[in-house]
Copies of this chain bind each other. A is one copy, B any other.
Amino acid sequence: MFVRNCWYVAAWSHELEGNRLLARTIINTPLVFYREAQGVVALEDRCPHRAAPLSKGIREAEGIRCRYHGLLFDKGGRCIHAPAQDSVPAGMKVRNFKTVERNTWVWVWMGDPEAADETLIPETPCMGNPEWRSIPGYLHYDVNYLLICDNLLDFSHLPYLHPTTLGGSPDFARILPKVERLPRGVRLKRWVERTQPPSYTRPYFHAEVVDRWVDYDFVAPGVLLMDAGMCATGSGAHTGDRKGALETRSYQALTPETETSTHYFFTQAHNFEIDKPEVTQNLFKAIEIAFEEDRDMIGGQQKNLQLDPNAPMTSLTVDQALIQFRRVISTMIAAEQKA
Which residues on A are within 8 Å of B, measured CB to CB?
25, 28-30, 45-46, 48-53, 56, 58, 65-71, 82-85, 89, 91-92, 150, 154, 156-157, 159-161, 170, 173-176, 296-297, 300-301, 303-305, 307-308, 311-319
Contacts and interface: CB of A to CB of B under 8 A. Distances in A.
A159 B313 CA distance: 53
A69 B154 contact: yes
A292 to B, nearest CB: 13
6 contacts: A49-B315, A52-B301, A53-B300, A70-B160, A84-B173, A85-B316
Given A46-B304, A305-B51, A314 B92 contact: yes
A152 to B, nearest CB: 13
Nearest to A294: B68
B84 A157 contact: no
A175 to B, nearest CB: 8
Given A68-B297, A316-B69, A46 B160 contact: no
A53 B304 contact: yes
Contacts of A173: 69-70, 83-84
A89 B316 contact: yes
B154 A296 contact: no
Nearest to A296: B56
Nearest to A159: B70
